[in-house]
Amino acid sequence: MIKKPQMNALGKTLLLFWNSSIGKKLVVAITGLMLVGFLLGHMTGNLLIFQGREDLNDYAEFLHHMLHGWGIWIARLGILGAFFLHIVATVSLVQQNRASRDSRYACDTTVQAPVSSRIMIWTGLTVIAFVVFHIFHFTVRLDPDLAAMKDPGNPERHDVYGMVIAGFQNPLVVIFYILAISFLCSHLSHGIGSIFQTLGLRTEKTRVAIRNLSVAISVLLWVGFLSIPILVVTGGLKDKTDSASHSSERPGPSALAEN
């Protein structure tokens, strides 16, 4: 009987916060900060592929056993929740801004809005489609061949190294990755600055530094994420174990001579 009014008061406070433009902007900023942090961490982990199969597979095994297996699920639910809130709050803010426009700008917006709106809609949908595809591609692993891959040095664990290389053999998949990551980084180059502004950290003195930081992070993520699929599809990054097994299966000169 005592807790119910408190819960109602908390619910009303959260509802008022969410319905306000300031509240939504804070949600967009905080979830955006979480997503940028995740992207930097995810990219760093992915780049372990250049250190070899053992390092990347060790890292993947650590993630899946962290906190007795709960850590990876807590992280996944947290990131997906932040991603969902980020999209919903952003869409709601856009709708509020459109509704509050003064009628005297109606003529201008009818001329200018369609191009920018179409670009934002399609780039946004592409990024969302990419996230869904990426989850099914490398996390859920709907492809049975990718799901069945085992580490040659430790058959009890999944071969993430081999899976990544096999997964990027399709040029169409690589093209989709390049397109989606490019759209995402273009969004980040503007979005990171907005995070600082919403949190009250962007001033006239820090404006240039924040803009440079936004561009630097976006370029770093673009190069880091795309270096892997591009090198795989161009042959610069190969699964040496498969190459070795194929070469060992080929008959040597003595065997050919015997035949």
Q: What percent of the chain has pLDDT over 70?
A: 82
**Alpha-carbon gap, residue 85 to 114, rounded angstroms:** 25
Query: Does residue 1 have a pLDDT over 70?
Result: no
Q: The tokens 């709106």 sit on which residue?
A: 117
Buried b (16+ CB within 10 A) or exposed e, 212-241: eebbebbeebbebbbbbbbbbbeeebebeb
Q: How many CA atoms lie within 13 A of 27 on its CB side?
A: 23
CB atoms within 10 A of CB 93: 15
Q: Is-contact 72 45, C-beta < 8 A?
A: no
Q: Which domains does the chain have, with CATH numbers?
A: 22-99+114-243 (1.20.1300)
pLDDT one-digit tens code per residue, 164-217: 999 999 999 999 999 999 999 999 988 899 999 999 888 889 999 999 999 999
Amino acid 123 reads T
Query: Facing residues of 158 across strands?
Result: 150
Question: At CA 64, angle to CA 136 and CA 50, rounded to 5?
Answer: 75
pLDDT one-digit tens code per residue, 108-159: 444 444 444 556 667 788 899 999 999 999 999 999 999 999 999 999 999 9
Q: Closest Cα partner for 129 from 183, 190, 169?
A: 183
Q: How many CA atoms lie within 13 A of 93 on its CB side?
A: 16
Q: The tokens 């199969």 sit on which residue?
A: 53
pLDDT of residue 202: 87
pTM: 0.83
pLDDT one-digit tens code per residue, 56-73: 999 999 999 999 999 999
Q: Closest Cα partner for 56 from 181, 164, 186?
A: 164
**Alpha-carbon gap, residue 76 to 144, rounded angstroms:** 22
φ, ψ at 156 (rounded to 5°)? -80, -10
pLDDT band, very low/low/confident/very high, at 255 (cuts 50, 70, 90) = very low
Amino acid 10 reads L
